[in-house]
Amino acid sequence: MIRHKRLADVARLAGVHASTASRALNPETRSMIRPGVVETVLAAAAKLGYRPHALAASLRTRRSSTVGVLIPDLTNPLFAAIVRGIEDALGAAGYTAILGNSDNEPARARTMLQRMRERRVDGMILATAQREDALIAECRADDVPLVLVNRTVDDHTVSAVVVDDAVGIALAVEHLVGLGHRAIAHLAGPQDLSTGRLRQRSFARAMAAAGLAVDPKLVLVCRAMTEEEGRRQFGALLERGRSATAVLAGNDLIAMGCYDALGARGLSCPAAMSIVGYNDIRFVDRLSPPLTTVRIPQYDMGAEAARLLLARMRDAAAPVQTITLRPELVVRGSTARPGRPKPPARPRKIPARDP
Amino acid sequence: MIRHKRLADVARLAGVHASTASRALNPETRSMIRPGVVETVLAAAAKLGYRPHALAASLRTRRSSTVGVLIPDLTNPLFAAIVRGIEDALGAAGYTAILGNSDNEPARARTMLQRMRERRVDGMILATAQREDALIAECRADDVPLVLVNRTVDDHTVSAVVVDDAVGIALAVEHLVGLGHRAIAHLAGPQDLSTGRLRQRSFARAMAAAGLAVDPKLVLVCRAMTEEEGRRQFGALLERGRSATAVLAGNDLIAMGCYDALGARGLSCPAAMSIVGYNDIRFVDRLSPPLTTVRIPQYDMGAEAARLLLARMRDAAAPVQTITLRPELVVRGSTARPGRPKPPARPRKIPARDP
């Protein structure tokens, strides 16, 4: 059992009334008390190891100074970097984050949000948004200040910090076209996510802008933004003998799956296939070959989301806004000129099952 | 301003006294109330969207159901994985983690711990321990239940979940010796960390057990467990023309720095140098070459630390204990037989400054 020193103990030692001690200890009311008394009270508090009770203070002010942060999975470096940005910006304002991992499971997300509400978070930042998201609709009905990060909702009814995926994808396509690629595949992310959907649409537009037709058979939709899905879908594409010379992956993890699918078939990147990722998560510069990818400002996205939320918590009437951050292309070793002008696409015969 | 439905509203709608509504809503006291009444109250609560006020409950019980978790840096995949283990295990017990990043800066760590105490965390898990740690001594004096994870303190006065580094390092040394290496370098972590210190001592013992002398000039101590330090120290070792054929790094990040230092000198791994890491953080299996490393059960360490803390929070008199988890060696492409029986160690002359 923890025994905390109480305000009354401090007041007794300082020889003042409890209300005087309280005012002297609170930076916001300290000026009401004579400096000499303030010093006496602070000395007494220090001697007793007294600390203001943040919980009690939060009940008085109806604020908990905590913010719920829901992400898919902390072990995905993208979200670890976003969360660091969130926590640093919240911390600077005296707020603390309560973190929840949804694992992209709605039931788990619901449990986490429920727990955050029970703890009376002052606001929430969600990195888990689906384009149509019943949980977010519930949060809005609750009137809890809310900000989305990385992914957003279709109706744009909630403030969000996102990346300009149209620019990011255009940079990637222009890079590949500039190298001489014409048959470019896209391994899209799930279409119920704004990122998956917008990147796919941006891919079609960027190809059109380059005067190239999108071969529908070269566009595959992954069920999740994972290495496994990239491996599975790109493996299927290679099996069918499609004639792509480059692939633009929906994110870096899908791109890693493409590396695996190529490697399992004895094909090399970028000689047999150029690969572009998205996000520039930690360590993709150390892949073999280092991954050409679209860098998004992960830490800054988190920090901006926190600042946007802090502003909304101060002023609930603040208009809904979307902050769009600009990505950049980072060219590394996974992209090169196509090996042959029109590769005849004859993947080696391989056994039905990979080893 | 958020307007929360109050208990009185629920009681009014259900047509019962507030104390009855309170007991019906609390799973621990629900059995005191007739089932029919419980149903009526729960229906009223659901209709009004009433949620129990966790903050008020925590003041009544003097428990906040939160745990402070202090780590060096969330963007280090080691700590992201440990934190996921902590959060999952805490969540299953109804607890929430409040996270702080110290960036290995004592002043920052102090601020974070202070903030956690002000929020009256019921316990703390620290992944930031130094072998002699003034902050931990302060926490102990505070009587807050405390568990260390990954790193521990020399006097073992605090419960901890750690890895058997003696076993991990022995596995790594035996592997290298088995391949034929004799001149093995060690890039130790900081010696004020239990991990850095124990791994270095274990290296000396494992070498002795293999009948090999440790060349003191082949043991370098990094100032931090980072890629930068690995690059700097291993670069210095290569510059001096030391005759190592293999290096055991204090952790995976230092090992990555060794890759860089080799690469900058046009030397290849494992042909010119075998490299072994420690931890097996995410994606080191995708380095070029894939890293041979000692795998520690990162997620389980976090989960065990949370369970140990939960037990201590239930019973403050529980004896201090250290739980030691067994690591395993994962052999990948960064280790091989030494290229020549006794490499004459003539690194290429390179300019004073790397490009």
Q: Tell me if the bond preceding A289 is cis, omega within 30° of 0.
A: yes
How far B88 CA sits from the closest chain A CA (Å)? 9
Q: Rounded to a whole number, what is the distance in Å from the CA of B60 to chain A's nearest CA? A: 10
The answer to whether residue B332 is domain-embedded is: no
- Asked if the Cβ–Cβ distance from A55 to B53 is below 8 Å, we say no
String of b and e for A273-300 (b: at least 16 CB within 10 Å)? bbbbbbbbbbbbebbbbbbbbbbbbbbe
Quick: pLDDT tens for B130-188: 999 999 988 888 889 999 999 999 999 999 999 999 999 999 999 999 999 999 999 99
Average pLDDT value over all residues in chain A: 89
Which tokens is B170 given? Answer: 């022995």
Whether residue A84 is contained in a domain is answered as: yes
How far away is chain B from the Cα of A351, in angstroms, using its nearest Cα? 24
CA distance A78 to chain B (A): 9
pLDDT band at B342 (very low <50, low <70, confident <90, very high): very low
* A99 Cβ contact partners less than 8 Å away, ≥ 6 residues apart: A69, A70, A71, A74, A83, B83, B87, B97, B99
Gap between the Cα atoms of B209 and B173, Å rounded: 10
For residues B184-207, average pLDDT: 97
Contact A77, A287 (CB under 8 A): no
Cβ partners under 8 Å of residue B74, min gap 6: A74, A80, A83, A84, A87, B80, B83, B99, B101
CA B279 vs CA B177, B195, B302: distances in Å: 20, 11, 14
B144 Cα to chain A: minimum distance (Å): 7
The closest alpha carbon to B309, from B138, B163, B124, B58, belongs to B124
Domain check: are A98 and A242 in the same one? no
Of A55, A81, A287, the CB nearest to B58: A55
pLDDT for A27 = 62
Write down the H helix ranges in chain B.
Answer: 7-14, 18-25, 35-48, 54-61, 77-92, 106-118, 134-142, 165-179, 194-209, 227-239, 252-264, 298-314
> In B, which residues are within 8 Å of A282 by CB distance?
75, 77
Residue A170 shares a structural domain with residue A156: no
Cross-chain residue pair B99–A87, CB shorter than 8 Å: yes
- Which phi and psi (to 5°) does residue B202 adopt? -65, -35
- Please tell me whether residues B159 and B304 are part of one structural domain: yes
Q: Is there a contact between B259 and A59 if contact means CB atoms under 8 Å apart?
A: no
Instruction: Please tell me the predicted confidence (pLDDT) of residue A317.
Output: 85
Of A1, A58, A143, the CB nearest to B55: A58
Check CB contact under 8 Å for A101 and B115.
Answer: no
Cα B327–Cα B302–Cα A282 angle in degrees, nearest 5: 85
Q: Is residue A350 in some structural domain?
A: no
Contact A88 B96 (CB under 8 A): no
Q: Is B281's pLDDT higher than 90?
A: yes
Express each pLDDT in B233-246 by its tens digit.
Answer: 999 999 998 789 99
**Measured between CA atoms, how close is A275 to chain B, in angstroms?**
15
pLDDT at residue B355 greater than cutoff 80:
no
Residues A159 and A248 in one domain: no
Going by C-beta distance under 8 Å and a sequence separation of 6 or more, which residues neighbour residue B353? Answer: none
pLDDT attached to residue B60: 56
pLDDT over 80 at A60, yes or no: no
| Residue in A285, A244, A279 with CA at minimum distance from that of residue A261 | A244
Does residue B344 lie within any of the structural domains?
Answer: no
Query: For residue B41, what is the domain's CATH number?
Result: 1.10.260
Q: What's the CA gap between A206 and A217, in Å, rounded?
A: 17
Q: Which of A58, A69, A88, A96 to mutate to test the interface with B (most CBs of B within 10 A)?
A: A96
Contact B81 A75 (CB under 8 A): yes
Mutate to test the interface with B, among A25, A110, A286, A312 (most CBs of B within 10 A): A286
- Bin A30: left if φ > 0, else alpha if -120 < ψ < 50, else beta: alpha
Residue B285 lies in a domain: yes
Distance CA B300, CA B305 (A): 8
Domain assignment of residue B343, yes or no: no
Taking all residues of chain B, what is their mean pLDDT, rounded to a whole number? 89
Burial of B31 (0-12, 13-18, 19+ CB in 10 A): exposed
Confidence check: pLDDT of B30 > 80: no
Mutant choice from B5, B74, B112, B287 vs A, greatest count of A C-beta within 10 A? B74
Q: CA of A12: how far to CAs of A27, A35, B289, in Å?
A: 20, 18, 68
Contact A74 B80 (CB under 8 A): yes
pLDDT given for residue A316 in this prediction: 83
What pLDDT does residue B1 have?
36
Pair type for strands B292-295 and B328-330: antiparallel
**Binning pLDDT at 50, 70 and 90, where does residue A297 land?**
very high
State the total domains in chain B. Answer: 3
Q: Which one is predicted more confidently, A89 or B20?
A: A89
Confidence of residue A352 (pLDDT cuts 50, 70, 90): very low
- Longest CA pairwise span in chain A (Å): 91
pLDDT above 90 for B231? yes
Contact A74 B55 (CB under 8 A): no
Q: How far is B175 from chain A (nearest CA, A)?
A: 25
Residue A2 has what pLDDT?
43
Do the chains contact at A287 and B282, CB–CB below 8 Å?
no
Q: Is B307 helix (H, G, I), strand (E, B) or coil?
A: helix
Closest CB to A55: pick one of B75, B120, B144.
Answer: B120
CA distance A141 to chain B (A): 10
pLDDT value for B54: 58
- B130 lies in the same domain as B15: no
Whether A87 and B74 lie within 8 Å, measured CB to CB: yes
Mean pLDDT along residues A280-286: 97
Asked if A56 and B53 come within 8 Å (Cβ–Cβ), the reply is no
Chain A partners of B55 at a C-beta cutoff of 8 Å?
Answer: 55, 58-59, 64, 119-120
Which of B245, B268, B291 marks a domain boundary? B291
Q: Which residues of B touch A55 (CB under 8 A)?
A: 55, 58-59, 64, 119-120
Instruction: Report d(CA B165, CA B179) in Å as an integer.
Output: 21
The alpha carbon of residue A212 is apart from the nearest alpha carbon of chain B, in Å, by 33
Which of A291, A313, A348 terminates a domain? The answer is A291
Judgement on whether residues A206 and A217 belong to the same structural domain of the protein: yes
Which of B97, B101, B286 is facing A287, going by the closest CB pair? Answer: B286
Co-location of B158 and B302 in the same domain: yes
- Assess whether A171 and A265 both reside in one domain: yes
Between the alpha carbon of residue A237 and those of residues A185, A242, A247, the distances in Å are: 9, 6, 11
Distance CA A117, CA B51 (A): 8
CB contact under 8 A, A80 and B96: no
| Min Cα–Cα distance to chain A from B75, Å | 5
- Mutation target to probe the A interface, by most A beta carbons within 10 A, among B1, B5, B55 is B55
Contacts across the A-B interface (CB distance below 8 Å):
131
Q: How far is CA B336 from the centre of its chain?
A: 30
The amino acid sitting at A121 is V
- Residue B84 in domain: yes
Classify residue B46 by burial, with Cβ atoms within 10 Å: 0-12, 13-18, 19+.
exposed
3-state secondary structure of B98: strand
Do residues B277 and B252 touch, judged by C-beta distance below 8 A? yes
Asked if A115 and A228 sit in the same domain, the reply is: no
Under 8 Å between Cβ of B10 and B25: yes
Residue A353 reports pLDDT greater than 70: no
Spatial CA neighbour of A267 closest among A334, A332, A214: A334
User: Residue B100: closest CA among chain A residues belongs to which residue?
Assistant: A87
Q: How far is B61 from chain A (nearest CA, A)?
A: 11
Q: Evaluate if residue A245 carries a pLDDT over 50.
A: yes
Identify all chain B residues contacting A277, using CB atoms and an 8 Å cutoff.
none
Strand partners, B292: B276
In a domain, A351, yes or no: no
| Residues of A in Cβ contact (< 8 Å) with B75 | 77, 80-81, 84, 282
pLDDT higher than 90, residue A312: yes
Same domain, A179 and A235: yes
Per-residue pLDDT tens digits for B175-187: 999 999 999 999 9
Average pLDDT over residues A157-178: 97
Q: What is the CATH number of the domain that holds B137?
A: 3.40.50.2300
A206: left (phi over 0), alpha (psi -120 to 50) or beta: alpha
Q: How high is the pLDDT of residue A290?
A: 97
Give pLDDT, residue A348: 45
pLDDT band at A75 (very low <50, low <70, confident <90, very high): very high
Nearest CA in chain A to B142: A2
Bridge partners, B123 (sequence order): B67
| A176 and A155, same domain (yes or no) | no
Residues B70 and B104 in one domain: yes
Residue among A4, A75, A288 whose CB faces B288 most closely: A288
**Cα separation of B126 and A114, whole Å?**
27
pLDDT (average), residues B114-128 = 93
pLDDT digits (tens, 9 = 90+) for B46-85: 788 776 655 555 555 667 889 999 999 999 999 999 999 9
Q: Looking at chain B, how many residues does it have?
A: 355
B101 and A83: CB-CB below 8 Å? Answer: no
pLDDT of A192 > 90? The answer is yes
Distances (CA, A) of B222 to A184, B106, B184, B347, B350: 45, 19, 16, 22, 23
* Residues of the domain holding A307: 64-163+298-326
Contact B3 A143 (CB under 8 A): yes
Look up tokens 């008394």; give the residue.
Answer: A37
